[in-house]
Amino acid sequence: MTHLDTELHLLKEQLIDMQRLVRTQIGKCKNALLQFDHELAREVLDMERKINSLELKTDRDCENILALFNPVAVDLRFILAALKINTNLERIGDNAEGIARYVLDVHTPFPETLIAAYRFDEMYKTAVSMLDDSLEAFINEDTTLARDVFAKDDLLDEINLAATQTTLQLIGSTPEPLHSLNMLSIIRKLERVGDQTKNIAEEIIFFVEAKVLKHESDS
């Protein structure tokens, strides 16, 4: 194994660790909301600092590899993809932090009927499934699995689109209107998690197959 191979392997392991960390953050957000656990929500805020530090380190590592080894072909594509994957993982972490803040913003639990009306559980499970698929696709360089992520994002878009109408229907009849507004914002955050996970899947396909999928439907 060359020095470059070693550096690329370490970079990949670092991105895998970061992806697992943001996956944990999303899970903690769900539990904080359903259990109305403010302490768990604060854990998410605290861990966000670690994610930000990891993002900065990964950026520096990519820059150093580019400067020191002048990679080409698939190695160069991997570095370019790693930079974008790193950015999207940090943004997923930001959305997890945002969800935790919405939980901390209210003083009483979110009613179960409200959570069900927004199809939160369905949306959460789909978003997490996309994250899990993208992680496995990245580990195994499996572009078929990466493409599975795209279809799942359609459901997130559908639930997100319906959330505005749900808010209009419920906000007048909910004892605490802030719950409805925060649930709408939480749904928006999960929809963005789906978009960012789609971006990660696109980067996996780029570095493995040398195919650029971004804006493909616009051509």
For residue 181, the domain's CATH number is 1.20.58.220
Q: What's the token pair of residue 145?
A: 């699995």
Number of domains in the chain: 1
pLDDT in tens, 182-201: 999 999 999 999 999 999 99
- Measured in whole angstroms, the distance separating CA 127 from the mean position of its chain's CA atoms is 8
Give Cα separations from 128 to 77, 91, 152, 171 (angstroms).
26, 15, 10, 28
Looking at every residue in the chain, the average pLDDT score rounds to 94
Alpha-carbon torsion (41, 99, 62, 141), positive or negative: positive
pLDDT in tens, 45-96: 999 999 999 999 999 999 999 999 999 999 999 999 999 999 999 999 999 9
* Domain range for 129: 3-218
Residues contacting residue 193 through CB under 8 Å, at least 6 positions apart: 26, 92, 95, 96, 127, 130, 131
